[in-house]
Amino acid sequence: MYLHASEPPGAMLVFLTGFEDIKGVNEALAQCTATGRFEHATVIPLHGSMPTAHQRIIFDPAPNGTRKVVLATNIAETSITIDDVTLVIDTGLHKVMTYDTLNQIRSLSPTWVSRANAKQRAGRAGRVAPGKCFRLFPEALHAACDAFLAPAMRRTPLESLCLQIKSIGLGRARPFLARAMDPPDEAAVKQALGRLRAIGALDDDEELTALGRHVAQLPVDPAIGEESGVGGGRCGSGGFDVRARE
């Protein structure tokens, strides 16, 4: 509200962590608008689950004398570019999928952005006019953040990746993944191979079984694909029964 009242005309882009935060800020601004404390502003929520037609509104220029305020997740970092943004407010947080190798638990939770993410967010301002970025976290915290976001193979389960490696004939998974620029933890690879053997997708020599070849073609977690096939069910309208075919 302060920046809206004090800064020159131009769209404002606010980075939030997810739908609930966007909803909360949108409701708060709506109350301020109703009481006359946040005038001449058009607030537009932006989230990946919103219809494409709704997302197109963010590209339309705001009427004269009105500021466009876009409340967005990190989808606005790279996937979408809003040309008339001159102000960026960065909360410094985003939701990232993480995986606890020890407890075998994955979760989507808010974490601090990397310095590369923060730089990318700041770059959203000033594409067609001078812009500013306001970070809502201390400079010391920014300096302590990771330089870059960890690669997905270091923070997600590896069963699907191991199946892909086997299905296209790249050899054994552990030595292949060890050659990556940022290789995953060896314990995570070992756990993934163990779970693939447990569901019958790999044999004891780490070769694909008949079930493994079918599961590798499904765009779902291997455990879900195994349950759909071995249980005798059908995987949606275009699915198949693995047992029936084999």
Write down the domain spans for the chain: 2-149, 153-245
Question: Given this chain, do its domains 2-149 and 153-245 carry the same CATH topology?
Answer: no
- Cβ atoms of 192 and 157 within 8 Å: the answer is yes
Could you list the beta-strand ranges (E) of the chain.
Answer: 11-15, 41-46, 67-72, 85-90, 93-100, 105-112, 132-135
- Cβ atoms of 93 and 121 within 8 Å: the answer is no
Q: What is the pLDDT of residues 56-87, one digit of tens each?
A: 788 888 888 899 999 999 888 887 888 899 99
Q: What is the pLDDT of residues 140-174, one digit of tens each?
A: 999 999 999 888 888 888 898 999 999 999 999 99
The tokens describing 221, both together, are 């977690």
pLDDT above 80 for 202:
yes
Q: What is the pLDDT of residues 109-121, one digit of tens each?
A: 899 999 999 999 9
Q: Which CATH class is domain 2-149?
A: alpha beta
For the segment 5-28, the average pLDDT, to the nearest whole number, is 93
Angle between helices 186-198 and 159-167 (to 10 degrees): 80
Task: Give me the pLDDT at residue 65, please.
Answer: 87
What global pTM score does this model have?
0.73
The tokens describing 40, both together, are 């001449």
Q: In whole angstroms, how far apart are CA 169 and each of 39, 162, 173, 188?
A: 61, 11, 10, 21
The tokens describing 166, both together, are 């086997």
| Least confident among 5-19, 185-199, 232-246 | 232-246
- For the domain made up of 153-245, give the CATH fold: Four Helix Bundle (Hemerythrin (Met), subunit A) (1.20.120)
For the segment 16-32, the average pLDDT, to the nearest whole number, is 93
- Give me the chain's average pLDDT, please: 84
> What gap in Å lies between CA 99 and CA 65, rounded to an integer?
47
pLDDT above 80 for 54:
no
pLDDT above 80 for 221:
no
Q: What is the pLDDT of residues 229-242, one digit of tens each?
A: 544 443 443 443 43
> What gap in Å lies between CA 166 and CA 156, rounded to an integer?
18
- Cβ atoms of 46 and 75 within 8 Å: the answer is yes
Determine what percent of the chain is predicted with pLDDT higher than 70.
Answer: 87
Task: Give me the pLDDT at residue 227, please.
Answer: 60
